[in-house]
Chain A
Amino acid sequence: MTLLRLMLRNTIRRPVRLALTIGGLAMVVLAFGLLRLTLEEWHSGVKAAANNRLITVHAMSDSLQLPLAYKERMAVIPGIQLVHYGNVFGVEYRDAKESFAAFAEHMGTFFETYPEVILNEADRLAFLKDRGGCLIGWKLAARFGWKVGDVIPLKGTTHTGNWELVVRGIFHSSNPAIMGEGELYAHWQFANERLKTTAPDRADGVGWYVATTAPGVNPRSVVAAIDATFANSFAETRTEREQAYIAGWVARSGALLDALNWLSGVMNGIAALVLVNALAMAVRERTREYGVMKTLGFRPRHLVALVMGESLLVALAGALVGLGLLYPAAGLYAVTVAGGKTVGAYEITAETIWLCLGMMVLVGLLAALWPAVRLSRMTTLEGLRHRG
């Protein structure tokens, strides 16, 4: 088709301008992509949460502890298969800058509750046997160069004192959004025994219970049953499905996420401006040609199609280049945001790609709108008289 060829030729008519436009658009797509990644990183946990796990915490505060005795009372609630519990185990290595997330978990139920943990059988057994041992994610191991068998000296923040834990296993996770790979897991019993001497009023406390529901049970009904069990006791509970629990935390950063979302909106605006500018220039230069085409009998819709096509083509090219740049940039961004701490996943999902492409299609259509309207309003004579 001649018209299609004309559109392509028009598009590449000014190679420098085309390159600048595509470059500009690519930058916007890149920035947009980075913001989407940040937002997705936040929401990844919500999406990846397990459906059969319920989190129970102190109703008043996530930072308050529940009595250990709740374990037995929860275990008999119908629909619950397994009750697991754990605590924050606040530690730092060498100094505060070298801190990382660490947890003291009841190891009798840990592996069953979190099938996401991938660990070879020998290490698993070795860890279960050594109460002074710990499990670390491979990212944490890589960060400090720790190997199985190393003794790592840690300074406790929530659990006062110096701790020397033996690395018994380095694990991977089948679902890093839920079970991170930059964390340390120690035995709850081991941490608790020390508490009995250093801070007896905090001993035998549990930060959270994780109840796994039996197959076929509706988790929602169990949620209510747990909270009802402890209603009006001195430590009431707040139970949520894992997903809702994580979503709750994400929502508390709502204002910040809103701001980021808002920024990505501004970016669409910038993209549109870059493209509108390029198109407007191109159309103005070619006004006379469009006049000639009208004289030849071409209808406004032909011209509009020409401009729209060109706009979409450029927008998509910008999107592709931007996405291409997003891969190396995402890695750099993830490392920089982490600032020496464990690097997040920042995985580029199909959703991000479609969103970027979709946004640019929209921008392409919008950008062509004004030049197209101008063209279709222009009379043949105006076109012919135009001096570029």
Chain B
Amino acid sequence: MLWSVYSLRNLWARRVTTLLTLSGLGLVVFVFVAILMLAHGLEQTMGRTGDPSNAILLSKGALSEIESSLSRDQTGVLAAQPEVVTLADHQVAAVREIALQLTLRKRERGSLASLSVRGSSPVAFAVRPRLRIVQGRAWQPGTTEVIVGSQVARQFPEARLAETLRFGRREWTVVGIFEAEGSGFDSEVWGDVDQMMTTFHRTAFSSMTLRLADPEVLPAFKARLERDPRFKVSVKREPEYYEGKAEGLARLIRVTGLFLTVVFSVGAILGATMTMSASVAHRTTEIGTLRTLGFTRGHILQAFMLESILLSLAGGLLGVAGAALLNRVTISTVNWDTGAELAFGFHLTPGMVGEGLLFAVFMGLICGLVPAARAARIEIVHALGERTA
């Protein structure tokens, strides 16, 4: 108890230096947590896209919907599989879609942006039940009405409700805005598949997504379809398909984050070691006095270690608090693996708060060790003999 008071008072006595050191450590923790948050946010966005009960079918060999093409005849047979859910209106829970990457000039700044457009049909809502329309309504089949994901609505002023988007030399009226739990669908525009195919001179679909009655049967279902020489398709669980689609981004964030954190923390540890060393040098007489009073080397070591850990913990709290301000901030960038615009956010979890603080304490331990050991080794006679003036 007395020790923590002693340590705190000493930190307070040198508050300018304390504050500077603390800010340094805080910035490092900030960067550390911010990068965790961003990596997690990206994972969330990609991992949440799709439903584990769904299977997505692409043409054999195709890595993405853009590269894939499935003919109308093919999809007809493929949808009629016994594993697929039959809906209340006797319709099969299978949605045939085309996916397109469009280049759009942003109306405000004139800069180019990629827009993911999906030609779909109303059964898509049955296949993906987690998707909700939050404003307006769904598009009418056979019209040029579209609905946009919440991220698209946020990024493109021309994609707000009742506005019109221009692409494929036609105008598309936005009649609804949907949310898909922060998934990649939030960065897409959905409309009528037949209208889109006509507009883009397509005769084939890009993909078909099926809702299975039992998610467990997917491996067997996949094996059967992929082995059948008539189909030439590859089958993937929907979330697994999307998860692999941001590898490049995820890698850049993780590697850059790792490098920065390592390099930064070394820098901050050096800075904090300097502060602690100065603190020891400054209090030599005081240490001698304490030892004369009967405190052991262990006590001295403890006091300085405690001081160092308190310092870094305070820095850690500052850093985590700063990072928490970034929570829910989204950034939108092109996903190099698909060429599509993708919005994802910083996402803070309680685990990260713990990791950030633990990281701070770890830095505190390291930077306190050498100065504290030196303080403990000081000889009483020398300490008292030395004048501080």
Contacts and interface: CB of A to CB of B under 8 A. Distances in A.
Q: Do chains A and B touch in the complex (CB under 8 A)?
A: yes
A60 B102 contact: yes
A270 B274 contact: no
A180 to B, nearest CB: 14
Interface string A303-341: 000000000000000000000000001000100110100
A253 B30 CA distance: 23
Contacts of A157: 61-63, 67
Contact of A90 (B27, B67, B102): B67
B101 A63 contact: yes
A161 interface: yes
Interface in A90-106: 90, 92, 96, 99
Contact of B24 (A23, A248, A270, A288): A270
Interface string A154-167: 01111011000000
B256 interface: yes
Contacts of A238: 103
Interface residues of B, number: 64
A387 interface: yes
Interface stretch (A2-10, A27-35, A44-52, A121-129): A27-35
Given A63-B101, A270-B267, A201 B204 contact: yes
Contacts of B67: 90, 157-158
Nearest to B260: A31
A350 interface: no
A305 to B, nearest CB: 23
A280 B20 contact: yes
Contact of B251 (A99, A276, A329, A337): A337
A64 interface: yes
A33 to B, nearest CB: 10
Interface in A4-58: 16-17, 20-21, 23-28, 30-31, 34-35, 38, 57
Nearest to A248: B112
Contacts of B255: 333, 336-337, 339
A303 B157 CA distance: 57
Contacts of A214: none
Secondary structure at the A interface, as helix, strand, loop or mixed, is helix
A269 B25 CA distance: 12
Interface in B84-129: 100-103, 111-114
Contacts of B266: 23-24, 27
Contacts of A281: 17, 274-275, 278
Interface string B60-88: 11110011010000000000000000000
Given A61-B101, A270-B268, A277 B263 contact: no
Interface size class of A (residues with CB under 8 A): 35 or more
A333 B259 contact: yes
Interface in B206-259: 232, 244, 249, 251-252, 255-256, 258-259
A376 to B, nearest CB: 18
Contact of A30 (B21, B103, B263): B263
A281 B273 CA distance: 13
Given A238-B103, A273-B20, A62 B339 contact: yes
Nearest to A249: B334
A345 B292 CA distance: 62
Contacts of B332: 255
A17 B278 CA distance: 8
B388 interface: yes
A278 B255 CA distance: 31
A388 interface: yes
Interface string A79-92: 00000000000101
A251 interface: yes
A251 B388 contact: no
A324 to B, nearest CB: 14
Question: Which 9 A/B pairs are nearest by Cβ-Cβ distance?
Answer: A27-B267, A252-B334, A24-B270, A255-B331, A277-B20, A20-B274, A31-B263, A256-B333, A24-B267
27 contacts: A20-B270, A23-B270, A24-B268, A24-B271, A27-B264, A30-B263, A31-B267, A34-B259, A60-B167, A90-B67, A155-B61, A201-B204, A236-B169, A249-B334, A252-B333, A253-B333, A253-B334, A255-B332, A256-B252, A270-B24, A273-B27, A277-B271, A280-B16, A280-B17, A280-B20, A336-B258, A387-B389
Interface of B: 16-17, 20-21, 23-24, 27-28, 30-31, 59-63, 66-67, 69, 100-103, 111-114, 167-169, 200-201, 203-204, 232, 244, 249, 251-252, 255-256, 258-260, 263-264, 266-268, 270-271, 273-275, 277-278, 331-334, 336, 339, 341, 388-389
